[in-house]
């Protein structure tokens, strides 16, 4: 079963390569145990206002295995949207889905 959370902002700490190392969601810290896969998607064509604002038109999706410190491991998809560097959300992260 999949639970969608498309617009849920999360605070992510990433390593030098940009891979998420941990994230905070609902006041809890999740440590990334492994990166299962990653890919880049194009911004949907109907979101032209973002492209006009100087966004790259791309976003990264990271499917990771993560767990709370004492909790069980789960599979999470995190999305990083690329925005203009002048934006306060220059590299905004969202929780997209949790896979059971």
- Tens of pLDDT, residues 66-95: 999 878 899 999 999 876 554 555 568 999
Buried-state track 52-84, b at ≥16 Cβ within 10 A, e below 16: eeebeeebbbbbbebeeeeeeeeebbbbbbbbe
Count how many domains the chain has: 1
- Tens of pLDDT, residues 33-48: 999 999 998 876 665 5
Q: Which helix (H) or strand (E) holds 97?
A: strand 91-99
28 or 81, higher pLDDT: 28
Q: What is the mean pLDDT of residues 7-21?
A: 91
Mean pLDDT score of the chain: 83
Is the pLDDT reported for residue 51 higher than 70?
no
The domain in which residue 34 lies consists of 2-99
């Amino acid at each position: 079963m999949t639970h969608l959370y498309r617009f849920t902002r999360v605070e992510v700490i990433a390593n030098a390569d940009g891979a998420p190392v941990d994230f905070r969601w609902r006041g809890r810290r999740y440590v990334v145990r492994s990166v299962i896969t990653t890919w880049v998607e194009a911004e949907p064509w109907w979101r032209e206002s973002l492209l006009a604002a100087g966004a790259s038109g791309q976003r990264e999706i990271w499917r990771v295995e993560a767990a709370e410190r004492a909790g069980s491991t789960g599979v999470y998809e995190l999305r990083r949207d690329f925005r203009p560097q002048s934006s306060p959300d220059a590299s905004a992260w969202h929780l997209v889905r949790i896979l059971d």
